[in-house]
Amino acid sequence: NAGVTQTPKFRVLKTGQSMTLLCAQDMNHEYMYWYRQDPGMGLRLIHYSVGEGTTAKGEVPDGYNVSRLKKQNFLLGLESAAPSQTSVYFCASSYSRTRTGGLGQPQHFGDGTRLSIL
Amino acid sequence: AQSVTQLDSQVPVFEEAPVELRCNYSSSVSVYLFWYVQYPNQGLQLLLKYLSGSTLVESINGFEAEFNKSQTSFHLRKPSVHISDTAEYFCAVSPRSYNTDKLIFGTGTRLQVFP
């Protein structure tokens, strides 16, 4: 049982390049999330998904796009990378509140992708 | 809107000393409360959570936190820390009214335990 797996673990890009970060979970979770972590700022939500085929914007969505074509995968795309997007990116997943009787559930996190934009 | 404040960015303590990491939140609706721990070069792991019921919650490794509704706080405590507790600790809230479990995080507190 791998939990939440992120690929790649490290990447260096040049300004203007594009790339896709992949998140895969094997826990049959309905909800998935992408966060970025920057020093002194904690984690901030970029985009999230409440189910296959649905996505929504979080706190800092500009410059990113996402897709959830399969329940177990959540992709984060950078179309034209900028130095301000240098960060550590975390994917997380959780059960839906419908499944848990309305109670909030903790999120399970991957180990992160460290991305540097030069 | 919700916000989470962790006033202490760093907390240095000696091994076997007690520690308290402070967390205050602001929200116009009821929230669920969480503490996550992040060890170096790893993702976040759930430490403990308050969903309902007893306001004092405990983790398996000796940490505890108490939900204080009147003070809108969820401080994390441990009576005797170990070197292995050195990590960054994040307090987070999730509004009960949402249909997702979006988390709003504090900026984190780095706990450094010295021998």
Please provide the DSSP assignment of A41-54 as one string: TEEEEEEEEEETTE
Task: Give the confidence band of B21 by pLDDT, cuts at 50, 70, 90.
Answer: very high
Q: Is a pLDDT exceeding 80 seen at residue A1?
A: no
- Angstroms from A88 CA to nearest CA on chain B: 10
What's the token pair of residue B42? Answer: 């790893």
Show Cβ contacts of residue B70 under 8 Å, excluding neighbours closer than 6 positions: none
What's the token pair of residue B114? Answer: 């010295």
Q: In this structure, is the dihedral angle defined by the CA atoms of residues B79, B81, B85 and B89, taken in order, positive or negative?
A: positive
Find the closest chain A residue to B34 by CA distance.
A106
A103 versus A67: the higher-pLDDT residue is A67
- Angstroms from A11 CA to nearest CA on chain B: 15
Q: What is the mean pLDDT of chain A?
A: 92
The CA-to-CA distance between both ends of chain A, in Å, stands at 36
Q: Is a pLDDT exceeding 90 seen at residue B96?
A: no
Q: What are phi and psi of B4, to 5 degrees?
A: -130, 130
For the segment B102-112, the average pLDDT, to the nearest whole number, is 93
Cβ-defined contact of A48 to B94 (cutoff 8 Å) = no
Instruction: Using an 8 Å CB-CB cutoff, list chain B residues near A48.
Output: 100, 102
For the segment B66-71, the average pLDDT, to the nearest whole number, is 91
Task: Give the confidence band of A95 by pLDDT, cuts at 50, 70, 90.
Answer: confident
Find the closest chain B residue to A114 by CA distance.
B41
- Please choose, from the candidates A35, A56, A42, the residue with its C-alpha nearest in 3D space to the C-alpha of residue A115: A35
pLDDT in tens, A8-63: 999 999 999 999 999 999 999 999 999 999 988 889 999 999 899 999 999 999 99
